[in-house]
Amino acid sequence: MSNEPTDSRSPDAVYSFAAMERKWPAVWDELKVFTPLDDGSRERRYVLDMFPYPSGDLHMGHAEAFAMGDVISRYWRQLGYDVLHPIGWDSFGLPAENAAIQRNAHPSEWTYANIDTQAASFKRYAISADWSRRLHTSDSEYYRWTQWLFLRFYEKGLAYRKDSPVNWCPKDQTVLANEQVVNGACERCGTPVTKKSLNQWYFRITDYADRLLDDMAQLEGKWPDRVLSMQRNWIGRSAGAHVRFRIESTPDQPEHDVTVFTTRPDTLYGATFYVVAADSQLAVDLVTEARRPELEQYRDKVRSLSEIERQSTEREKTGVFTGRYAINPLSGERLPVWAADYVLADYGTGSIMAVPAHDQRDLDFALAFDLPVRVVVDTGEAHPAESGMATTGDGTLVNSGSLTGLPQEEAVAVAVRILTSSDAGEETVNFRLRDWLLSRQRFWGTPIPIIHCASCGEVPVPDDQLPVTLPENLRGEELAPKGTSPLAAARDWAAVDCPRCSGSATRDTDTMDTFVDSSWYFLRFTSPGYTDGPFDSDAANNWLPVQQYVGGVEHAILHLLYARFFTKVINDLGLIDFDEPFNALLNQGQVLNGGKAMSKSLGNGVDLGEQLDTFGVDAVRLTMIFASPPEDDVDWADVSPSGSAKFLARAWRLARDVATTPGTDPSMGNRGLRSATHRTVADASVLLDQHKFNVVIAKIMELVNATRKEIDSGAGAADPAVREATEAVAVVLSLFAPYTAEDMWSILGHEPSVAAAGWPTVDESLLTVDSITAVVQVKGKVRDRLEVSPDISEDELRDLALRSEAALRALDGQEIRTVIVRAPKLVNIVPV
Ligand code: ANZ
Ligand code: ZN
């Protein structure tokens, strides 16, 4: 199949994907067919693929994902839109750093070598990208603006520092990323990982929780429902109430006011104890001196647990009594205050009123420590203390003072009213979403542009001193984290003069989470060379929101949420006039092999390069797309790239065989084939809008067959309808198999590129059915069939029927009593 070509137009020319792959990339580069005009002369459309991480060469997963985005951009280009389809690399991150440590190199060496490899593969794969807009987030001309944006967030109070726990290996004295903690132990030395408190940077994304949630209404129907619901759960809005409790004084401790967040204020009379998060400051503040040692011991134990162990519902409940009592504001009842690890320090207020009858976690705790269980909502179910099951259903309030007798829902409202009027609480909304911890004790990331000065405190690096670039002289082990960021070890780099007082100061040595880099790259693509800001506002407003975003569902939560957050903040900064970045989202499926994800350990990986060498780029692309709708997985064990290659050769031979010249008027061509062509194009438009790319390919296969049939057994290759059909095949195929389509287009005598051909115009009159069969019966028996127009009148049909020789023969001279006509399909002639 990769034989060398003879002259394409000669009758024995053969399809050679290798020759096409050598010929066309240079032509596309030179014609700049994929560079948008960007002059406003055409309506703009922005198609974006989630940009790749340079982990090695491209793999089958890339081949699938990027094929889908490419179909859409090529389709929209054919429709006449000015399409922006850029490409770049998300090139900061841990793998480069680990590779550099192993190879005693600088992370940039590995990173940029991989980028070059991937770029070459993308070009071969014929991604219709505008290469002139290529960017890499690890280029200082890019991260300069990541730093600039950070400083704008900082000025708005949206970037701040606070102490927070990190994974810590006590043996290596090293901060560990979550992925370096394996089963609760350090990946390198196996020592159990503990938590250490470190001063870290956060983005105040919680300020935007409401908008992030509410604005999802704009995305309804345009993003997959699954992604929207994952985002909703992550933001986790819950409506409830704050309730204030007073903690009684003790001989050694003063009174203390505390607040809980509850979604069930109706159950206030069922609270039998109070729990504070053991790892919170509040626990330390509340505990009596007599109980302090016990609490400290317990806190140590809690700290040594991994997050997974702590969250496990299987685990037995543990806790310690603090020696204090809380007063229920409604009933005046005294509740013992416990410290336990099932209450999270960073959710709600970090402490709860425990209602064991109606909350399973509280019930488990009550049963473990022999605390009372009081039913306050009668649901008709067994008593929780006996069944071990908290009851959460609807019912009537019991044992609840003035709430007694109320239906549950009404009791919520009444309880809130009482709390509000007695100033003991109020309605509130709570979010699961936490602020975004963005600092990493890592080297290969965007340095945080802050300087720490003993006398001035945190001082932002002045804009005109950006970028703060990474040192280039660190290699290998020097990059390994040692308790703090490796940048702290680069003393020359870290030591600076304070921009405010000129005293000696140090740079912040943390770098940013790589999700920061990818939260605004879609803006930079609209003006990648811009030097007066992160992007040109006009360009961004012209192109965004992205009309079609394509990427994996693994980014359903964080990346998309962060990008939405950045967009809203940048909108608030007045730099853009839209506040959602991605109008539509398509999640492509995975490529499997034999029912399982491809992996080294399973040995079921398929090498993309080998597939391309064997079958050609077009066949691999076509196979990916033909296998299933884009959202579904493709199992490489079930597909046939060789079948795709055969089909492509078959399509290509149509072009070789066409015997008319470009511009030949198709109107005299075979009407059946013309109809098939126009119907295929019309159907393809509808199907493409619905992302049913695989069905479009099936339709094209049918049209190729019909065209071949016309050449072989109809009017032959000189039929103008054959040219019309073959040109349509080339244009539609250009979305899926760009090399083959380009070659066909040129063999058909066209220039300069099929990508500029324009989508074929559908002649509506050819779509209508041009004849249907009417039957002529004599005395109810079919005697003749007539091809008639579907809108024939009854009179016309009657006249035609009465001229039917077959019908007259059957009448055999009998006189006609009556003629029943049901236009357009039936005439029944009844003799006397
Ligand atoms: C009393 C109560 C009674 C509750 C009842 C539930 C059922 P969501 O829906 O997830 O927001 N809670 C509050 N803060 C907590 C924390 N920091 N750690 C663990 N649990 C916490 O859950 C809110 C409910 O979870 C709150 O309502 C509180 O228990 C608990 F029959 O208050 B509830
Ligand atoms: Zn200073």
Ligand nearest to the CA of 454: 2
353 CB less than 6 Å from ligand 1? yes
Three-state DSSP state, 325: strand
Amino acid at 728: A
Give the Cα separation of 50 and 66 in Å (integer).
9
Task: Quote the pLDDT of residue 714.
Answer: 75
267 CB less than 6 Å from ligand 1? yes
pLDDT of 188 above 80: no
Q: Which residues surround ligand 2, an ion (CB under 5 A)?
A: 453, 455-456, 498, 500-501, 503
Q: How far, in Å, is the centroid of ligand 1 from the Cα of 295? A: 23
Q: How far, in Å, is the centroid of ligand 1 from the Cα of 262? A: 5
- The helix or strand, by DSSP H or E, that contains position 197, with its residue range, turns out to be strand 194-203
- Output the residue whose Cα is nearest ligand 1's atom 27: 262
Which atom of ligand 1 has the smallest separation from the CA of 358?
31
User: Of 69-73, 162-166, 445-449, 501-505, which range is least confident?
Assistant: 162-166
pLDDT 10s digits, 227-270: 999 999 999 999 999 999 999 999 989 999 999 999 999 999 99
Which atom of ligand 1 has the smallest separation from the CA of 355?
3
- Give the dihedral sign, CA 338/342/345/348: negative
279 CB less than 6 Å from ligand 1? no
Task: Quote the pLDDT of residue 190.
Answer: 84
Q: What is the mean pLDDT of residues 698-710?
A: 95
408 CB less than 6 Å from ligand 1? no
359 CB less than 6 Å from ligand 1? yes
- Give the dihedral sign, CA 279/282/285/288: negative
621 CB less than 6 Å from ligand 1? no
| The dihedral formed by the CA atoms of 760, 761, 764 and 769, expressed in degrees to the nearest 10 | -20
Task: Quote the pLDDT of residue 3.
Answer: 42
Reading the block at residue 521, the tokens are: 């790259």
Q: What are phi and psi of 635, to 5 degrees?
A: -100, 115
Give the Cα separation of 175 and 441 in Å (integer).
7
Task: Quote the pLDDT of residue 7.
Answer: 58
Give the Cα separation of 801 and 593 in Å (integer).
62
82 CB less than 6 Å from ligand 1? no
- Output the residue whose Cα is nearest ligand 1's atom 10: 238
564 CB less than 6 Å from ligand 1? no
In degrees, to the nearest 5, what angle opens at C-alpha 16 toward C-alphas 11 and 17? Answer: 145
Query: Which residue among 262, 273, 400 has the greatest number of ligand 1 atoms within 8 angstroms of its CB, and so is best to mutate?
Result: 262
Q: What are phi and psi of 542, to 5 degrees?
A: -70, -40
pLDDT of 832 above 90: no
Using an 8 Å Cβ cutoff, are 766 and 724 in contact?
A: no
Ligand nearest to the CA of 505: 2
384 CB less than 6 Å from ligand 1? no
Which atom of ligand 1 has the smallest separation from the CA of 348?
14
Ligand nearest to the CA of 432: 1
pLDDT of 183 above 80: no
Using an 8 Å Cβ cutoff, are 483 and 175 in contact?
A: yes
Query: Which residue among 258, 280, 347, 430 has the greatest number of ligand 1 atoms within 8 angstroms of its CB, and so is best to mutate?
Result: 347
341 CB less than 6 Å from ligand 1? no
- Output the residue whose Cα is nearest ligand 1's atom 26: 262
Reading the block at residue 176, the tokens are: 């560990």
- Output the residue whose Cα is nearest ligand 1's atom 11: 238
Q: What is the mean pLDDT of residues 806-812?
A: 90
Task: With cut-offs at 50, 70 and 90, classify the pLDDT of residue 1.
Answer: very low
Which atom of ligand 1 has the smallest separation from the CA of 238?
11
Task: Quote the pLDDT of residue 546.
Answer: 98
pLDDT of 388 above 80: yes
Q: What are phi and psi of 790, to 5 degrees?
A: -65, -20
pLDDT 10s digits, 522-569: 999 999 999 999 999 999 999 999 999 999 988 888 999 999 999 999
pLDDT of 601 above 90: no
Task: Quote the pLDDT of residue 767.
Answer: 87
53 CB less than 6 Å from ligand 1? no
- Output the residue whose Cα is nearest ligand 1's atom 12: 352
Task: With cut-offs at 50, 70 and 90, classify the pLDDT of residue 709.
Answer: very high
